[in-house]
DNA sequence: ATCCGTTCCTAACGTTGTTAGATTTCCTAA
DNA sequence: TTAGGAAATCTAACAACGTTAGGAACGGAT
């Protein structure tokens, strides 16, 4: 039955086209323009067709979020090729903020509290894994033992997000935000290298 | 003309009641439940009445955002009474994240990209002023000269926001987020105190 | 008692996400 | 070759949203 496989292929194809159309609308016109009818029109279908490929709008948006994280992951991998350990860290910081600046609307939905927290964490995992890896080699290279590695990682992740958001929310310009991220990361790493005062080993309780 | 002043008083009063009702709905049921009709029902009016007090929904939401920042400001002032310079900084960090944890939905709209960036920055100004003040006395107390004071301030602000968001987005628990914020701030300050390596004085260009 | 401005409500418009039902298309099987 | 049935697609509609228009009711001043 080669016909059914062709049908499945076509199905998968239009599904992909829907995602691409949605992504295009999101990136070029922002989240307000991202409506089911608009997307359907762009792929030359009627609105209900979208629901044959996605349970609801959230599912479609989640696909965009996943796409965004894959994109970010690839850029991280490129930045991670920098040989120098310290420069590699600052390049990651810079890349993160650059991504937020170049894909503001995508970045927005990637961190939108409205999309399910668990799913968001799930699709973001690979990219924070890269960060984790980099921090591991960095701390090894500098003979630094972090009191709580996961905590350190979350601090970096949160800091990058916060400063990227500074740019995204319009508080500072994008280039400046990138520079801020590099400085912040440098300051934190320097702080860790210098060694935190004793009162360090915090409670590992209440984490999720 | 005592009658007209009474009318104005009543007007201002219902306006305030609308804001309070909106705030209550937001805090207890989240942003999705914050509809004009719902608010109107809660104050025992019909929906269009709301538009006699606010040009549109955004204007009303902006009022909530402003309220949120006033609230945060008051808690900051309380935390700023701590005499010890260093502890004062970590208490601010802790307070910021605590606020985000205790008013998650309010915190959400306070940093929602959908509300106008300029207005958001405007209402946030007083609270970042507190941070600026604290950083000033801190750097003076430790004989630290920051290469770029505004930049340092933005780094702190962004970092706090980022780590608070970590809790808000559900990546980590609230208590843990608070602890993370304290650690992050300690690390950054320690980094600054130790002194950043020469390549510091960044371009002050492209700031907004 | 009458007028006028303010206040308020009902009804409606356009748009959103989403579902139901009918219709068309197209492969399969007799 | 043709009858049947699943898959695909459309039109129409629903509920809820923000928002506006138009008229009814109230209340103080002449």
The answer to whether B36 CB is within 7 Å of strand D is yes
Q: What is the model's pLDDT at position B3? A: 60
Report all structural domains of chain B as residue ranges with CATH numbers, in order of start: 1-54 (1.10.10.60), 61-196 (1.10.357.10)
Q: What is the model's pLDDT at position B70? A: 98
Residues of B in contact with A196 (CB under 8 A): 183, 186-187, 190
Q: Closest Cα to residue A115, out of A166, A161, A59?
A: A59
Give the pLDDT confidence of B76-132 residue by residue, as tens digits: 999 999 999 999 999 999 999 999 999 999 999 999 999 999 999 999 999 999 999
Mean pLDDT of chain B: 91
Measure in Å the smallest separation between the Cα of A155 and chain B Cα atoms.
6
Give the pLDDT confidence of A45-76 residue by residue, as tens digits: 999 999 999 999 999 999 999 999 999 999 99
Query: Residues with Cβ < 8 Å from B151, sequence gap 6 or more?
Result: A176, A179, A180, A183, B202, B204
Please report, rounded to whole angstroms, the spatial distance between the CA atom of protein residue A17 and the C1' atom of nucleotide C25: 21
What predicted TM-score, i.e. pTM, was given to this entire model? 0.91
Percent of chain A with pLDDT over 90: 82
Give the pLDDT confidence of B177-206 residue by residue, as tens digits: 999 999 999 999 999 998 764 334 434 333
Compute the distance between CA of residue A26 and CA of residue A67 in angstroms, rounded to an integer: 12
Selected for mutation to probe chain B from A26, A89, A107, A171 (highest B CB count within 10 Å) is A171
Measure in Å the smallest separation between the Cα of B12 and chain A Cα atoms.
32
pLDDT of B71 strictly over 80 = yes
Q: Do B187 and A184 touch (CB under 8 A)?
A: no
Comparing CB atoms, the residue among B161, B168, B196 nearest residue A190 is B196
Compute the distance between CA of residue A173 and CA of residue B94 in angstroms, rounded to an integer: 27
State mean pLDDT over A162-166.
96
Cα distances (Å, whole numbers) of residue A128 to A65, A132, B53 = 15, 6, 46
Q: What is the model's pLDDT at position A4? A: 64
Give the pLDDT confidence of A7-34 residue by residue, as tens digits: 778 889 999 999 999 999 999 999 999 9
A168, A108 Cβ separation under 8 angstroms: yes
């Amino acid at each position: 039955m080669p016909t059914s496989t062709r049908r499945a292929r076509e199905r998968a194809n239009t599904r992909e086209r829907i995602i691409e159309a949605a992504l295009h609308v999101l990136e070029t016109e922002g989240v307000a323009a991202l409506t089911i009818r608009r997307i359907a029109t762009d792929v030359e279908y009627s609105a209900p067709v979208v629901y044959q490929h996605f349970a609801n709008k959230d599912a479609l948006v989640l696909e965009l979020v996943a796409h965004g994280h894959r994109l970010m992951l690839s850029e991280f991998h490129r930045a991670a090729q920098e040989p120098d350990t310290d420069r590699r860290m600052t390049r990651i910081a810079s890349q993160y903020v650059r991504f937020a600046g170049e894909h503001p609307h995508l970045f927005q939905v990637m961190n939108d509290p409205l999309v399910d927290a668990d799913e968001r964490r799930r699709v973001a995992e690979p990219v924070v894994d890269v960060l984790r890896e980099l921090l591991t080699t960095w701390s090894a290279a500098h003979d630094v033992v972090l009191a709580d590695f996961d905590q350190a990682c979350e601090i970096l992740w949160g800091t990058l997000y916060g400063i990227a958001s500074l740019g995204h929310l319009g508080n500072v310009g994008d280039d400046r935000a990138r520079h801020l991220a590099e400085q912040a990361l440098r300051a934190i790493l320097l702080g860790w290298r210098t060694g935190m005062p004793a009162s360090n080993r915090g409670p590992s309780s209440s984490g999720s």
